[in-house]
Structure 1
Amino acid sequence: MQEQRQDADGFVYVSLAQLMAVEHRTRGLSFFARQPLSSILAGNHSSRLRGRGLNFDELRRYQPGDDLRHLDWRASLRYGKPFVRAFTEERDRPALIIVDQRMTMFFGSRRSFKSATAAELAVLCAWMVFHAGDRVGGLVFNDSQIERITPIRSRTRVEALCASIVGQNHALSASQPEAESADAQIDKVLQHTLAMAGHDHLICIISDFAGAGPRTLQLLRELSAHNNVIAMQVYDPLALKLPEKGRLMVTQGELQVELAVDRRQVRQPLGDFLTGRLKDVATLLRRSQVPLMMFSCGEEPLEQLRREMGRLNGAPR
């Protein structure tokens, strides 16, 4: 196991103790509700999440109050009396939490790095799944490594997911260059996810989706055909709005760059570039018909998740 960093403050690097301690904060939150999920950036785009799957139990005589949609017309015609197909709900459902810890995530201009925000979001999702009585697993990836955790309903499995996230999070460093094939890594991870998730899985993908392209779109559509998929895009506040005055100190680990954002020739192209990248990815995710939630690393992850879950549960905006 990788040695724990002494500078794990939760904003640049996370700790195992910190991630395990958020369990009680997820009480009352649920991914599955009666109302559709509407994203922050997607306007009118909405998508219903499937409930638990149903297993066929028995064929029996119709009783008053039975759902007429479950009438078995073939059996009813054969016996001259109405028969219905009875189903039982699956006891639990596997969930895969996909967590991005690539170098593109090792950036932050306010509050925390995207990598730390993604780590906390992932564990919040894992505890929500666990308390719903479902199995927890996932994939944690960086620029060159993909670690798979098979879904099991166990507190120790949540801890194993947390440990994997912490290990890859602590491996991030400003002196570490981005891999040349980083753009293809998101697609490789989704292919691994397809291999793990046959059908009726809940799949939460937590990433900045850097490098997403046409192949990503195709893979997301394949995943969502038989599973509940939620895209959680983590972004830095600079991508939406740059300060209008003064100088901006941006840090990426040990590296620091001072930007004179009050100069138009600096501010406008930088703002256009950052906003354009965010919108391009959001547009691609909308085309996949996968529900999209946006999370700023400048705000507390749990409060943002509560807002999104409120919309999911039909609460007013």
Structure 2
Amino acid sequence: MTYRAYSSLDDLIQLRLHSKELSLFRPRIAKSALSGQYRSSRKGRGIEFAEVRVYQPGDDVRTIDWRVTARSQEPHTKVFQEERERPVFILVDQSQSLFFGSQGDFKSVIAAEAGSALAWAALANSDRVGGIVFSEKNHQEIKPRRQKKIVLQLLHNIHAYNHALSMTTQPTPPSTTYFADVLGHACRLIKPGSTVAIFSDFLRFSERARQYLSRLASHNDVLMFHIQDPLESQLPPPGYYTFTDGQRRCSINTQQRQLRQRFAEQAQQHQQTLISFCRRYRMAFHPLTTQQPAIDQLKQVFHSPWSKRVV
């Protein structure tokens, strides 16, 4: 298997072939005219215009189409059905901390491909798709549309941000603000009732970021995909190693048992904090590793009973 530091635009586009295998939402027939996430076979006065038909006793007189009635000399009424599709909004983190991988693809590649695959799956389900691709420096947003060109635009943004990452990038001081800033912008941009998928390592999980996430979760279905490399949860066997997170370099001696134990405990605590936060605000939490292709992991996620129940 070839491990990659960068994604390929062709690969991001080819992920469309797997879109039908990712059952983000399963089509269902609504039991009432106002339930479920999809168009119901029942019709009534709702949001979306369906048709004009001959007026029947019991129809709401407020829905009479007077133009058609005048033209046909027979009462006709407008029939509506509830709009059941929901926008899917995808946030893809391409900050410098994701430009790392020890035993597989870089975290930035996993984020890029997982976000792209989910965008194709949403479009295949006739949902509107939008998103934000971001780094420490800036972000690009796309408002949700039910169009292939919108997904392609999102993929181009993901690809551009992914290839802007570099080990020679001028180091910048660690910051907790950019992630929170993007989430704050998402709160203003995303309409209630959306599905929001976030692909990140969540290393900038500040209090302000948590406030925005809880706000998003109060009106939307939020899915947090935590991308992690095995080396971030457990140090390698005893020895001398040089590490970099894309911003800083350091050499450490892993022969110290206490160091290895403390490192593992901190990593476990970080993930447990994320899990507890998701449970508190009823968000779905899914870990993704750099050791497996992103699409294979997503197939496992969206075929599990947990994801069906949460999403």
Q: What TM bracket, shorter-length normalisation?
A: 0.7 to 0.9
| Preserved contact between residue 21 and residue 299 of structure 2 (Cα < 8 Å) | no
Task: Look up the match of 1:153.
Answer: 146
Is 1:212 the equivalent of 2:205? yes
Aligned length: 266
Give the AA of the match of 1:310. H
* Structure 2 stretches lacking a partner, 5+ long: 28-35, 47-78
Q: Distance in 1 between matches of 2:108 and 2:217?
A: 25
| Preserved contact between residue 140 and residue 147 of structure 1 (Cα < 8 Å) | yes
Question: C-alpha displacement at 1:194, in angstroms?
Answer: 1.2
Task: Look up the match of 2:99.
Answer: 106
| Preserved contact between residue 108 and residue 251 of structure 1 (Cα < 8 Å) | no
1:205-284 correspondence runs (5 A): 205-244=198-237, 250=243, 259-284=252-277
Q: Distance in 2 between matches of 1:273 and 1:181?
A: 18
Residues 226-251 of structure 1: per-residue CA shift (max 9 Å, x gap): 22211111111123333445666656
Task: Look up the match of 2:60.
Answer: none
Task: Look up the match of 2:9.
Answer: 16
Residues 33-78 of structure 1: per-residue CA shift (max 9 Å, x gap): 59xxxxxxxxxxxxxxx7348898339xxxxxxxxxxxxxxxxxxx
SS in 1 for 2:5: coil
Is 1:137 the equivalent of 2:130? yes
SS in 1 for 2:97: helix
Is 1:128 the equivalent of 2:121? yes
Decide whether aligned partners of structure 1 residues 17 and 10 sit closer, same or farther in structure 2, where only a CA change above 3 A counts.
farther
* Structure 1 stretches lacking a partner, 5+ long: 1-8, 35-49, 60-85
Is 1:51 the equivalent of 2:51? no
Question: C-alpha displacement at 1:217, in angstroms?
Answer: 2.3
Q: Distance in 1 between matches of 2:242 and 2:206?
A: 31
Residues 209-232 of structure 1: per-residue CA shift (max 9 Å, x gap): 111132222222211222221111
Give the AA of the match of 1:14. S
SS in 2 for 1:58: coil
Task: Look up the match of 1:63.
Answer: none
| Preserved contact between residue 37 and residue 86 of structure 2 (Cα < 8 Å) | no
2:196 alignment partner, one of 203, 209, 225: 203
| Preserved contact between residue 108 and residue 252 of structure 1 (Cα < 8 Å) | no
Q: Distance in 2 between matches of 1:191 and 1:260?
A: 40
1:62-73 correspondence runs (5 A): none
Single out whichever of 216-225 and 185-194 deviates more from structure 2.
Answer: 216-225
Task: Look up the match of 2:161.
Answer: 168
Residues 120-151 of structure 1: per-residue CA shift (max 9 Å, x gap): 00001101101000111100000020111111
| Preserved contact between residue 103 and residue 177 of structure 1 (Cα < 8 Å) | no
Instruction: State the TM-score, normalized to the length of structure 1.
Output: 0.73
Give the AA of the match of 2:124. H
Q: Give identity over the alignment, percent.
A: 29
Give the AA of the match of 1:292. F
Decide whether aligned partners of structure 1 residues 254 and 182 sit closer, same or farther in structure 2, where only a CA change above 3 A counts.
closer
Q: Distance in 2 between matches of 1:305 and 1:247?
A: 35
Question: Over aligned residue pairs, what C-alpha RMSD do you find?
Answer: 3.0
Decide whether aligned partners of structure 1 residues 266 and 218 sit closer, same or farther in structure 2, where only a CA change above 3 A counts.
closer
Decide whether aligned partners of structure 1 residues 248 and 285 sit closer, same or farther in structure 2, where only a CA change above 3 A counts.
farther
| Preserved contact between residue 204 and residue 230 of structure 1 (Cα < 8 Å) | yes
1:275-294 correspondence runs (5 A): 275-294=268-287
Give the AA of the match of 2:37. G
